Amino acid sequence: MAPSLDRQGYWGRPTSTLDWCEENYVVSFYIAEFWNTVSNLIMILPPICGAILTFRDGLEFRYVCSFLGLAAVGVGSWCFHMTLLYEMQLLDELPMIYSTCVFVYCLYECFKQENNISFIPIALLLIFSVSVTVVYLQWKEPVFHQVMYGALVACLVMRSIFIVTWVYPWLRPLCYTSLGVFLFGFLLWNIDNIFCDTIRASRQTLPPGVGVVTQFHAWWHIFTGLGSYLHILLSLQIRATYLKYRPKVKFLCGVWPTLHIEPQKTS
């Protein structure tokens, strides 16, 4: 995962503990990993739009935080891949833990009274986040972060499957689409890591426009960004259904899914 034939650019030598398979400073002197950087737009713009719509519909603030948390991950990842600096790496990786903790809280507290705040789960998730942060700052081992993040994602997967199996079966398509898209991105992430040398060699023989398609870490951003966005929609739809709202998925510009709450019918 540490490329050996990279160019030097505006941000100098990488100080991060990770350097991905995309060749550094090939597209731009100012962006270390161009495609890994711009692919984060899917984790920035749609979640901001989702946060605005959620706030406009008067839904609970925790879901606004979910969308903004995903956007924060996108911004942090943009800064990390643009610079490959250790400080920016933390700005990418630590918000992944914090935002996923928000996802966990929303999903595990979805069957409570409206605007109810459960302090024990908040305290436990806060302790977990602080502990991971302290350990990771001292022990700069990326695998530790990946395992902690994976544990949180596993909690989301188990809870989601339980809800769509036993409570709201009609939400299975959205649940499994979100999960499938995310796992496909995870598959591409692993391919990019394991077969980096082979992928890099293939790019030397492919036309530039085709070689871009082999930037699998960028695809990881796109698919996991979409999968995470769909998960927030799922969590929000579960909550809105439980509160007897009238949630409805609409497509922005006929393409991008958003959740709208229709006005309550008056008797």
- What is the Cα–Cα distance from 139 to 142, expressed in whole angstroms? 9
Annotated binding residue at 87?
A: no
Annotated binding residue at 141?
A: no
Annotated binding residue at 81?
A: yes
Annotated binding residue at 217?
A: yes
Annotated binding residue at 260?
A: no
- What is the Cα–Cα distance from 80 to 134, expressed in whole angstroms? 20
* Helix, strand counts (H, E) of the chain: 10, 2
Question: What values do phi and psi take at 258, rounded to 5?
Answer: -135, 155
Give me the DSSP letters along 234-254: HHHHHHHHHTT-EEEEEEETT
Annotated binding residue at 22?
A: yes
Enclosing H/E stretch for 229: helix 216-242
CA angle 208, 212, 214 (to 5 degrees): 120
Annotated binding residue at 114?
A: no
Q: Which two tokens stand for residue 207?
A: 């036309």
Give me the DSSP letters along 161-212: HHHHHHT-GGGHHHHHHHHHHHHHHHHHHHHHHHTHHHHHHHHTTS-HHHHG
Q: Return binding residues.
A: 19-20, 22, 24, 33, 81, 217, 221
Q: Return binding residues for Ca(2+).
A: 19-20, 22, 24, 33
Q: Return binding residues for Zn(2+).
A: 81, 217, 221
